[in-house]
Structure 1
Amino acid sequence: MSLQSVKDFFSTHAPDLSVIETEQSSATVTLAAQAHGVDPDQIAKTICLRAGDEVILLVASGTSRLDNRKFRDRFGAKPRMLGAEDVVAQTSHPVGGVCPFGLPQPLAVYLDDSLRRHAEVVPAAGAINAAVRIAPDRMAMLVSGTWVDVCQPPASEPVQL
């Protein structure tokens, strides 16, 4: 049902985009990058987190790491990852296929600025072997997402103090 809810979402909101299903698993950043022939940083990973009492989705580039201090400064709470069962209950998507599309109920979606390094990113699409190619700004528009800066900069970027 999860994959179908994502296909239905795109059919209604972005019929020009299609879900790409692969034979091999794309459940991890490395596997997804291999399956779709992109750099791992172009994979848009979606993390289901609890910020205080609120459950949110954070979409970030595949090689980005959450910065706990930036997160706490932005959301006023320490990030808490949800367990696999809670992720499915909140999103209907299995871990490895979590995305901000086709959700059974509204969740706040935040997109990390790390996604803006790419003209096109590849988020999962509701299954461990499904994805979509999309511009980050279009993804933000489709899911009513809010841009945030809560990930650590890549090792090649200087850290601002």
Structure 2
Amino acid sequence: MSFSAVKEYFKQFNMEDRLLEFPVSSATVELAAIALNCEPCKIAKTLSFLTKDDKVILIVTAGDTKVNNHKFKTFFSMKAKMVPADRAEELIGHAVGGICPFAVKDHVEVYLDESLKRFATVFPACGSSNSAIELNLEELYQYANAKAWIDVCDIKESNV
């Protein structure tokens, strides 16, 4: 995985010491929430999609959301098609379980979903299945080199 690439990326901002590594997996929203002792909704999960011409779109969204296919198609003018797990590292620079918006390949476009705006800080992964960093939304936008805030996700209904 590419934790070292993300750490190197954050060195230019003197922020590498803010990266967190865990002795347990944080590869899913649920596992990350346990590792960080926080609510799953505060995990900033990064979803990866392929465009028609094999470029990659990353959408960073709150941990309690799912993509709304209609909103996605309206915004991107295409149907949502996830990056195959076996191509993630090749296309993005990070493998599944550690996909994040930092230190990605040049052709990758990053968007932040409006669902994150409910929180002062969130926890995106940092290139491995046992890492994260706490960032406020301004920092996330800046360090992810985000193109825009978008609204393509819905909050999942609770089973409670």
TM-score between the two structures when normalised by the length of structure 2: 0.91
Instruction: Tell whether the 8 Å contact from 1:52 to 1:78 is kept in structure 2 after alignment.
Output: no
Match of 2:52 in 1: 52
Quickly say closer, same or farther: Cα 1:111–1:155, change in 2 above 3 A. same
C-alpha contact 1:26 1:130 (8 A) present in aligned 2 = yes
Which residue is equivalent to 2:11? 11
Q: Percentage identity across aligned positions?
A: 38
Output the CA distance in 2 between the equivalents of 1:52 and 1:115: 27
What is the rounded CA distance, in whole Å, between the counterparts of 1:119 and 1:46 in structure 2? Answer: 18
User: How far apart are 1:143 and its partner, in Å?
Assistant: 2.1
Cα contact 2:64–2:155 (8 A) shared by 1? no
Tell me which amino acid in the other structure corresponds to 1:29: V
What is the TM-score with the length of structure 1 in the denominator? Answer: 0.90
User: Residue 33 of structure 1 aligns with which residue?
Assistant: 33
1:21 match? 21
Instruction: Establish whether residue 150 from structure 1 lines up as the match of residue 152 from structure 2.
Output: yes
Question: How far, CA to CA, are the matches of 2:57 and 2:17 in structure 1?
Answer: 24
| C-alpha distance in structure 2 between counterparts of 1:31 and 1:14, whole Å | 28
What SS is found at the alignment partner of 1:110? strand
Unaligned runs of 5+ in 1: 157-161
- Residues 14 and 81 (structure 1), Cα distance of their counterparts in 2 relative to 1, 3 Å cut: farther
Task: Supply the distance in 2 between the matched residues of 1:136 and 1:152 (Cα, whole angstroms).
Answer: 19
Q: Which residue of 2 aligns with 1:159?
A: none
Task: Confirm or deny: 8 A CA contact 1:13 1:142 kept in the other structure.
Answer: no
Write out per-residue CA displacement over residues 10-60 of structure 1, whole angstroms, 9 at most, x where no aligned residue. Answer: 111352762100000000000000000111000000011013323111100
| 1:71–1:150 CA contact under 8 A, matched in 2 | yes
C-alpha distance in structure 2 between counterparts of 1:133 and 1:97, whole Å: 15
Task: State how many pairs are aligned.
Answer: 156
Task: Classify the secondary structure of the residue corresponding to 1:80.
Answer: coil
User: In structure 1, what residue type is equivalent to 2:44?
Assistant: A
Task: Please tell me the root mean square deviation across aligned C-alpha atoms, in Å.
Answer: 1.7
State the AA in 2 paired with 1:148: I
Instruction: Determine the C-alpha separation between the residues in 2 that align with 1:91 and 1:85.
Output: 11
The residue type paired with residue 88 of structure 1 is: E
Shift of 1:137: 2.3
1:154 to partner: Cα distance:
5.1
